[in-house]
Amino acid sequence: MANLKLSHIYKVYDNGHKAVNDFSIDIADKEFIVFVGPSGCGKSTTLRMIAGLETITAGDLFIGDTLVNDMEPKDRDIAMVFQSYALYPHMTVYENMAFGLRNRHLPEAEIKEKVLEAAKMLDIEEYLDRKPKAMSGGQRQRVALGRALVRDPKVFLLDEPLSNLDAKLRAQMRTEITKLHKKLQTTFIYVTHDQVEAMTMGTRIVVMKKGYVQQIDTPMNLYNEPYNKFVAGFIGTPQMNFFNVTLNRINDIVEVIFENDSKIVLPYEKLSKIHDDYLHGSKKVIFGIRPEHLVLSEDGLECVITNVEHLGNECIAYGELGGVEQDFSLKDEGNKIIVKVIEGTNINVGDKVRISPIIDKVHFFDAETEVTLLSKIPSYSKFSAKISEGKLTFLDVEIDAPAQLTRVCDNKNLDIEVPPYAIVRGSTYSLKVDKIEKINDKNLAYLQFGNRYLFALVDDEVKVNDSYSFDILFDKVKVTSDNEICLEEINDQISLLGTFDKEELREVDTDESSPTYNKTIRKYYFHAVIENKKFSLLTESGYKMNAIEGNNCYKRTYKYVANMNDVEVTDSESDGLRVSVVDILDYGVNKYALVQANEQKFLIKNKNYNVGDVLFINIPGDKISIYSTNIDMKIC
């Protein structure tokens, strides 16, 4: 039994290929986690790094509380089952299963007990004397599972174990592996390219594409709330239908207008989380609807049925939108539609039918980023504002504009994008709470302004119909004027370029528990060197840099990143990097000082500094993250 933690794991192969990028997940004890994605997306590489069969380029891997990056595979207390079974052909099933235990010098009686118990569990008792070649694929895979089982590992890793089996056996083994997981009460990590396996077996699924995690979620959440078009298309068969559309809001309804000018109408209430920008026909949107969420109707989209597949209990109809006879040309991909209906529905090739989506099941994605427009917590709400002669009018309230806004965009018409976390309790604005939605442990409030909503995260005390009073953190908003960016959100992270250095000192060992206690030993101290000033780094970061970057680490430039809140300002030159304050940025609630050290400028929180002040900056070593500037990768 064990929990696992993968923290910013990267794999860059020797040929420079970046197979896994910034993979992070906390896996709880007893979870059944599935890595799924198309071939080459980095699933096996990740699994092999967990097993210890592949080195981890950067990032930390914990099994339980132990950092295991450099631990030998045999010491990790995990067992791996491969697609190829990897059985020893010259050994019997019994010997194959006993092999690992013999290597660990367990008493023969104990080995026998374990093998028999596993064989019973997997229903292969009668084959114990056979050699693998005299067994079917399914039986061999059971032996491979048995060999893992007898070791009583903390974690089971399974790499496409069912790929070599036929469809029927696969379905059967799926159930058996799920049962085995329940019985063993152990953490399972399972790799597959088959979304059906993923959906039926996983307690949580990691969907990957080209080395990047796309979404980590339960099967139902992936199905119902895919984060992007890729996940939406990958999960579910037949695949979700996608159409290029534009949206047009008219009061309480939104028209979804297809490329061939056909139209459906949805209630605005269901789409109120979609940013207003998308609702006036000028932005391209992808409409997604699963075949099982379309129904034949009187007034839906017109389409011609071009093929019908009868599967016994259900029937899949393929059609062409637009109601025109099919011309069999390959162009116009965007008009094809798949509908799943129950068997017995009267639907035939050549029929002209009308179909409608089930309103609660629609998906919309941005046409460029392909990210959902219906995320549970909207990334921002956008409203227009006006600023003139230092006065800001926003949400019908006029205030003295924060100095930074006046400076950058005085006398302009503005659009302000307010993320929910930029709204904090206060007294400047007040809007009625129209609705509250509980999303995990958060409360999303729909604050009514005109005929639209401003979304805010609120505490449990706030109730529907309350008048909610708040302030806006203008340093957390994005301000545009005529689509030109005037102000962007201030990021709490600062990043500085610098080199990396090591110092070797001879010191007397003061650690009483050390074998070299009281002797003179060599000790290494590692530094980031930023504008000629040394910042101490953790010793373990130093060793990691060495391990990952080799001796190149002393020649390269790195990006050192820290949170603004961890920056310490001292008045002693010896303690820090000398900077001078070159500007003060006043955003109302929050203020910042822009400081400069030679070539590099960065922001710190303002504590009554003035332009021209000289400050000394320090950042504790344990708060500094190091990124490669060579490839985009967090080293430690």
Binding footprint of ligand ADP on the chain (CB under 6 A)? 13, 15, 17, 19, 37, 39-45
What is the nearest approach in angstroms of ligand ADP to the Cβ of residue 23? 11
- Decide whether 18 or 601 has the Cβ nearer to ligand ADP: 18
Nearest to 51 by CA among 35, 63, 39, 65: 63
Which of 492, 630, 470, 466 has the alpha carbon at shortest distance from 562? Answer: 492
Task: Name the token pair of 224.
Answer: 């119902």
Compute the distance between CA of residue 105 and CA of residue 409 in angstroms, rounded to an integer: 76
| Consecutive H or E run containing 388 | strand 381-388
Residue 421's contacts (CB-CB under 8 Å, 6 or more residues apart) are: 457, 476
Q: How far apart are CA 617 and CA 531, in angstroms?
A: 12
Min CB(232)–ligand ADP separation in Å: 20
Residue 210 or residue 284: which is nearer to ligand ADP going by CB? 210
Angle at 300 between CA 297 and CA 304, to 5 degrees: 90
> Are 218 and 250 spatial neighbours (Cβ–Cβ below 8 Å)?
no
| Phi and psi at residue 123, to the nearest 5° | 60, 45
**In the complex with ligand ADP, which residue's Cβ is closer, 15 or 572?**
15
**Minimum distance between the CB of residue 39 and ligand ADP, rounded to whole angstroms?**
4
Minimum CB separation of residue 484 from ligand ADP in Å reads 40
Q: Which is nearer to ligand ADP, 44 or 335 (CB)?
A: 44
- Which CB, 13 or 421, lies closer to ligand ADP? 13
Radius of gyration of the chain (CA): 30
Q: Which is nearer to ligand ADP, 13 or 524 (CB)?
A: 13
Token pair recorded at residue 197: 């396996």
Per the structure block, which two tokens stand in for 431? 């809007």
Question: What is the smallest separation between the CB atom of 4 and ligand ADP, expressed in angstroms?
Answer: 18
Other CB atoms within 10 Å distance of the CB of residue 60: 17
Closest alpha carbon to 23 in 41, 5, 38, 6 = 6
Which residue number, 16 or 107, has a Cβ lying nearer to ligand ADP?
16
* Cβ proximity to ligand ADP, 40 vs 233, nearer residue: 40
Whichever of 85 and 560 has its CB closer to ligand ADP, that residue is 85
Strands of 117-223 (E only): list them.
155-159, 187-192, 204-209, 212-217
Task: Supply the minimum distance, in Å, between the C-beta of residue 16 and ligand ADP.
Answer: 9
Q: From the CB of 41, what's the least distance to ligand ADP, in Å?
A: 4
To ligand ADP, the closest distance from the beta carbon of 233 in angstroms equals: 17
Least spacing, CB of residue 72 vs ligand ADP, in Å: 20
User: Do residues 455 and 379 touch, judged by C-beta distance below 8 A?
Assistant: no
Distances (CA, A) of 88 to 1, 48, 126: 28, 21, 19
Contact by Cβ (8 Å): 214, 231: yes
Cβ-based nearer residue to ligand ADP, 19 or 553: 19
* Beta strands in 403-519, from DSSP E residues, in sequence order: 412-418, 423-439, 442-449, 452-458, 467-472, 478-481, 484-487, 493-508
H/E stretch holding 399: strand 397-400
| Contact by Cβ (8 Å): 363, 287 | yes
Residue 13 vs 554, nearer CB to ligand ADP: 13
